[in-house]
A and B are shown apart, each in its own frame.
Chain A
């Protein structure tokens, strides 16, 4: 008899079970899709941002036979061979013009000569001056020298490397492209490593711009941040964990610190602008002000991490030390802090990593100015690495896209270093009781 089948074999039941299993599978697939989507976003983000990053440290340079002729330079007849002073008035433009015209003898007329010279970077003369200062014996000789080209040449060759027949939309004229072709044929154009990318300051010309100034600005800023937020944060954490009475005031303090950790960073920038610049009259764009502003942001992070680390020190250590006659301050200084220090340092490194990538507060205190000089002190006007990225990203000049990628690559590498150090520290020194 069909009716004797138990209920979980009925068709209605099987249908219901099938439906439930389908929905189970669907839910699981949704979960997988979500995780995959997050992973794919990260991959697309990193690839699209970094794909041209390595190119930032390269630029196209042209090999020219340059005659370091004192007459052309306007230095007058050759003096004794002892150290020569290359005055700012020395006409390296004329030297370059001569060298170019010797390479392309049939160029005539001012307009054509101007087009020819436009192939070179505007900083080419300064590069020659540097070389002559470093090696005075060059004076009066003719040398083959590599000279940075204008960024348009770089863009053209980059496009051709990707697609040999490419005709990218540059500002180069047909005549200029013909000259470039001639130089390429004679192996006089090359993409060469540009160390100045890591040492130079900002520039209007992509081929001359570097992240050196921004890197140093970030370093100075973070030093100030560390010097302020580390001692204050650890002291506050020690007080809250070891000495604070459990009363309303303490609880207020805790809530306050937690809330401060969630305040948008730009608000800290407004505080820096109103108090440090407006009230105290400190210098604009200075690493010291940036560091102080970021310190206020990092403080809650360090306090929270330090408290967790101090709280993890077992009670019996405190009690043993007290039992041996140590004062409360001695217990903290000799027992608790040494044990808690790895955790505290880990939290500090993570806080610093966050501060390093922070941009908005620095915009508020004026670290967005166009600054060519590499800063030498805490009060010099300076940029910072993330701000430099923002500035270059906003620059319509196409050559800067590569520079942005390069700067981001360096920033992410530094962040990876900081975070990696934090993780390593935690694994190496983590104690379980």
Chain B
């Protein structure tokens, strides 16, 4: 009995080993065809497989830098949107809101968190992208129909509840004594928040943002539906960029042979994604644990 229970608990480890194992095996096979430095530092991504050996551009391009840049651009936009809104919403509900307002605000954020990402994707592609495009045309700007801005904005909305609930945890674990001391010195509420609470909660807030970034990097459906396919290397949020997750989906959906460099590239991208998000989570866990030690 005890052994069966132990076996069940090791499944989580087996899953991790399975993920790492399958990703690493395929990635190694990919790196036999495309050298790692070309993948990690190459600037050209066009994973077409040549039909004939002598075709122009038959080699294909497996430089993933444009994908990393696109992922970072969309993630940055989403954090710029969700960071202030999520943090301020958490502060407001924790320090200012009456019980009635809190009873409305919290469920609202929870519903936002529960909406499936495919719905956000539909919203981004069908509502937000056209609005941004026509707005841009009005202002005389050239906006791509699958702009990074549309995907980033909607991803930001999706991230708001993550940031607000994690920030709320971080803020409310700051000892009451700190708050009282600040009020006793005559500080206003906003001064207390800015000068006493936020510095004390900083590690928890950093962890919240790191987890949100990790979530944005790994998000798939919004970018698959609203971001582009072309691997443009540009910092312009109005242009179309593509992301790591979009390319994984594009490379692996549809007919495929399991052995081509094209499908193997998806696993190399997946491994990169796994390592980066895992790294962010581990750092976030570490940072927030140290702050808990400090406050007891």
Contact = CB atoms under 8 A, between A and B. Distances in A.
A137 interface: no
A386 B221 CA distance: 10
B35 interface: no
Nearest to B270: A270
Given A262-B215, A366-B253, 4 more contacts: A27-B194, A267-B19, A357-B115, A415-B114
Interface stretch (A28-36, A188-196, A202-210, A318-326): A28-36
A239 B9 CA distance: 7
Interface string A249-261: 0001101111110
Nearest to B194: A27
Contacts of B258: 278
Interface string B177-198: 0000000000011110110000
Contacts of B120: 45
B168 interface: no
B127 A48 contact: yes
Interface of A: 20-21, 23-24, 27-28, 30-35, 37-39, 41-42, 44-45, 48-49, 231-232, 235-236, 238-240, 243-244, 252-253, 255-260, 262-268, 270-271, 273-275, 278-279, 296, 299-300, 303, 329, 353, 356-360, 363-364, 366, 368, 386-387, 389-390, 393-394, 401, 404, 408, 411-412, 415, 419
Contacts of A390: 118, 121, 221, 224-225
Nearest to A237: B9
Nearest to A45: B123
B12 A266 contact: no
Nearest to B245: A266
A316 to B, nearest CB: 23
Contacts of A411: 116, 119
A387 B249 CA distance: 13
Contacts of A21: 188
B18 A275 contact: yes
B289 to A, nearest CB: 10
Given A273-B252, A390-B225, A232 B8 contact: yes
B190 A24 contact: yes
B242 interface: no
Given A31-B91, A256-B16, A296-B15, A264 B119 contact: no
B282 interface: yes
Interface string B263-295: 000110010011001100110010000000000
Contacts of A300: 12
Contacts of B214: 262
A412 B249 contact: no
Given A38-B109, A42-B108, A45-B123, A359 B114 contact: no
Given A34-B84, A390-B221, A259 B122 contact: no
B190 A23 contact: yes
A226 to B, nearest CB: 15
A415 B190 contact: no
Contact of B248 (A238, A266, A274): A266
Contacts of A394: 225
Interface centre among B105, B189, B220 (most CB of A within 10 A): B220
B73 interface: no
B22 A275 contact: yes
Given A31-B91, A394-B225, A253 B188 contact: no
The dominant DSSP class at the A interface is: helix
B206 interface: no
A236 B12 contact: yes
Contacts of B93: 35
B5 A238 contact: yes
B51 interface: no
Interface in B240-268: 245, 248-249, 252-253, 258, 266-267
Contact of A267 (B10, B91, B101, B270): B270
Given A28-B190, A235-B9, A275-B22, A34 B267 contact: no
Nearest to A26: B190
12 contacts: A21-B188, A31-B96, A49-B127, A244-B9, A259-B278, A274-B25, A278-B258, A279-B22, A360-B117, A363-B249, A393-B125, A412-B119
A244 B6 CA distance: 8
A232 B11 contact: yes
Contact of A239 (B5, B18, B278): B5
A31 B91 CA distance: 7
Interface in B64-122: 84-89, 91-93, 95-97, 101, 104-105, 108-109, 111-112, 114-122
Contacts of A273: 252
A389 B220 contact: no
A264 B273 contact: yes
Given A262-B214, A411-B119, A31 B92 contact: yes
Nearest to A303: B12
Contacts of A278: 22, 258
B85 A243 contact: no
A114 B120 CA distance: 41
A38 B85 contact: yes
B148 interface: no
A364 B12 contact: no
Which 9 pairs, one residue from A and one from B, show the smallest C-beta to C-beta distance?
Answer: A264-B218, A357-B116, A31-B92, A235-B8, A274-B22, A34-B88, A27-B190, A239-B5, A360-B220
Contacts of A368: 253
Contacts of B25: 274
B141 interface: no
Nearest to B109: A38
Contacts of B122: 49, 389, 393, 404, 408
Contact of A258 (B96, B127, B220, B285): B285
Contact of B274 (A252, A267, A357, A360): A267
Contacts of A259: 16, 278, 281-282, 285
B146 interface: no
B16 A266 contact: no
A189 B147 CA distance: 41
